[in-house]
Amino acid sequence: MKIEFDFHRSDSILKRELNKLHAVDLAEIFEDATSEQKKKLLMVVDFKNLAEMLVELDEDTQIDVFRTLDKPTQSKVLTHLKTDEIRTLLLPAGVLERTKYLHFLKPQQKAQVEQLLTYSETLAASQMTSEFVTVDEGMSIKEATHHVITFSDEKHYIETIFAVDKDGTYLGTIKIKDLIIARPDDNLHDLIVSSGPVVNETTSLERAVKLISDYDIDSIPVLDEANHIIGIITADDTFEALNEILISDYQAFAAVKEHESELSAVERSKKRFPWLLVSVILNILIALFLTLFETTIETIVSLVLFQPMILDMAGNIGTQSLAVTILKINNDDDMKRHIFKEILISLFNAVAIAAVAFGIVFLLNSYVFPSNEVVPLRLATIVSISLLTAMVFGGNNGVVLPLLLKKMGADETIASGPLLTSINDFFALAIYFVLATLLLL
């Protein structure tokens, strides 16, 4: 439900009312406000609430809003953000601009943010935070509890405590609940759970999400090569980040950019029109090409019955390969292995579907819709061969096309979809009607 907020009040009332709101509500009010109302909101909201509101805004909007703040406010806002939140805020900015803002941070936090900015968004480490608490296994229950209380603040994640030995080597986790209810004479080492999963700096975000889900945990530690804990990743951060990536991939695959509420319908249409026009032109060329087989179609009308099946299956298998390939490109995976696997998958599926189609077409043409214009065995052979060839080509095209477009410098996520459909349609129809012309006339 849209939040209605009256800005026609004094600054003192606005300050009181706005600072009562949750960060999510503040962000929604800000996004719906006019330019003057946004300025007013930024003036009266406290630094802490302003920082929390920034986190709830769209990632591209965060840096734009942050730029409008004066330097003292920018510095105060950054002190209320966690390291991973600062990384998200500064990611769209250029190197020089980032450097300017990073000077507001303490040296240790500055180094941590700079390290986070070096990780690809597809890596789990890009979402890690340094606001966590470790305890030494040699501590007593009382010492560990005191350490957690005195060391942590509101930014720290304390639902799980991370245990290390005297050399800083990671040992396992301790639930804060277990630490609180432990008796003073209990051994801290007995509370450590060492069987939980861990990730390193090269673990993918998808893998981290799967581990968190499979083990039903709220966080997972990130270890370096020496088995030292360098950060943690919380469930909320990983699922939110993965959701952003998946939405971005889906929007790009559909050739539709992220919705921009300030654009008019005409401006949005301009963004989508070029690739729709490409599809129209290519399909007109396909229609003209089909006129070459007018005699074949008029002589053997049964061919038209199975044309949709051949087109759909070539398109379906191509779309599957295309979607997986685009995700693989974004994740920087081993493409040679991926190409080989997709070729085999396309071949296996094509052979299986073609065999099934052969039997169905033969039975239909023999008993359900018998016809004197063509021998059932010949028609079934032509349909199955065309289907096999079209599906193999379509699957391989779904792999090769985005890679080729990327190599040419084109945006493979936007151009692949329309081109794939039209190319697959042309090839499938060409094979189908060429075979029919050669073998049936």
Query: Tens of pLDDT along 186-212?
Result: 999 999 999 999 999 999 888 888 899
Q: How far apart are CA 71 and CA 399, in angstroms?
A: 49
Of the listed ranges 127-141, 165-179, 296-310, the one predicted with least confidence = 296-310
In whole angstroms, give the CA distance from residue 276 to residue 259. Answer: 18
Q: 342-366 pLDDT, tens per residue?
A: 999 999 999 999 999 999 989 988 8
Section 403-410 average pLDDT = 81
Range name among 51-55, 161-165, 334-338 with the lowest pLDDT average: 334-338
Higher pLDDT, 18 or 371: 18
Residue range 265-440, CATH number: 1.10.357.20
Q: Is the dihedral of CA 192, 193, 195, 200 positive or negative?
A: negative
Q: Is 264 exposed, middle or buried (0-12, 13-18, 19+ CB in 10 A)?
A: exposed
Lowest-confidence segment of 152-156, 365-369, 411-415 by average pLDDT: 411-415
26-47 pLDDT tens trace: 999 999 999 999 999 999 999 9
Mean pLDDT, to the nearest integer, of 327-335? 67
Domain boundaries 11-118, corresponding CATH code = 1.25.60.10
CA distances from 158 to 187, 378, 416, 421 (A): 20, 72, 46, 51
> What angle is formed at CA 62 by the lines to CA 56 and CA 65, rounded to 5 degrees?
120
Confidence label for 170 from pLDDT (cuts 50, 70 and 90): very high
Q: How many residues does the chain have?
A: 441
Residue with tokens 């792999």: 399
| Neighbour-count burial for 208-224, b at 16+ CB within 10 Å, e otherwise | bbebbeeeebebbbbbe
**What is the 3 state secondary structure string of the chain?**
CCCCCCCCCCHHHHHHHHCCCCHHHHHHHHHHCCHHHHHHHHHHCCHHHHHHHHHHCCHHHHHHHHHCCCHHHHHHHHHCCCHHHHHHHHCCCCHHHHHHHHCCCCHHHHHHHHHHCCCCCCEHHHHCECCEEEEECCCCHHHHHHHHHHHCCCCCEEEEEEEECCCCEEEEEEEHHHHHHCCCCCCHHHHCECCCCCEECCCEHHHHHHHHHHHCCCEEEEECCCCEEEEEEEHHHHHHHHHHHHHHHHHHHCCCCCCCCCCCHHHHHHHHHHHHHHHHHHHHHHHHHHHHHHHHHHHCCHHHHHHHHHHHHHHHHHHHHHHHHHHHHHCCCCHHHHHHHHHHHHHHHHHHHHHHHHHHHHHHHHHHCCCCCCCHHHHHHHHHHHHHHHHHHHHHHHHHHHHHHHHCCCCHHHHHHHHHHHHHHHHHHHHHHHHHHHHHC
Question: What's the CA gap between 359 and 374, in Å, rounded?
Answer: 16
Rounded CA-CA distance 245/161 in Å is: 29
pLDDT, mean of residues 238-255: 61
Give the separation between CA 310 and CA 387, rounded to whole angstroms. 5
Q: In this model, does residue 253 exceed pLDDT 90?
A: no
pTM greater than 0.85 (yes/no): no
CATH number belonging to domain 127-251: 3.10.580.10
pLDDT at residue 349, as a whole number: 93
17 pLDDT more than 50: yes
Q: Which range in 5-9, 168-172, 413-417 is most confidently predicted, on average pLDDT?
A: 168-172
Sign of CA dihedral 418, 420, 424, 427: positive
- How far apart, in whole angstroms, are the C-alpha atoms of residue 172 and residue 220? 10
The chain-wide mean pLDDT, for the chain, equals 87
Residue extent(s) of CATH 3.10.580.10 domains in the chain? 127-251
- The listed range with the strongest mean pLDDT (222-226, 405-409, 434-438) is 222-226
**Residue bearing the bigger pLDDT, 334 or 255:** 334
Q: For the purposes of burial, counting CB atoms within 10 Å of the CB of 163, is it exposed (0-12), middle (13-18) or buried (19 or more)?
A: buried
* Numbered ranges of CATH 1.10.357.20 in the chain: 265-440
Q: What is the pLDDT of residue 42?
A: 95
Of 192-196, 377-381, 385-389, give the lowest mean pLDDT range. 377-381
pLDDT at 1 over 90: no
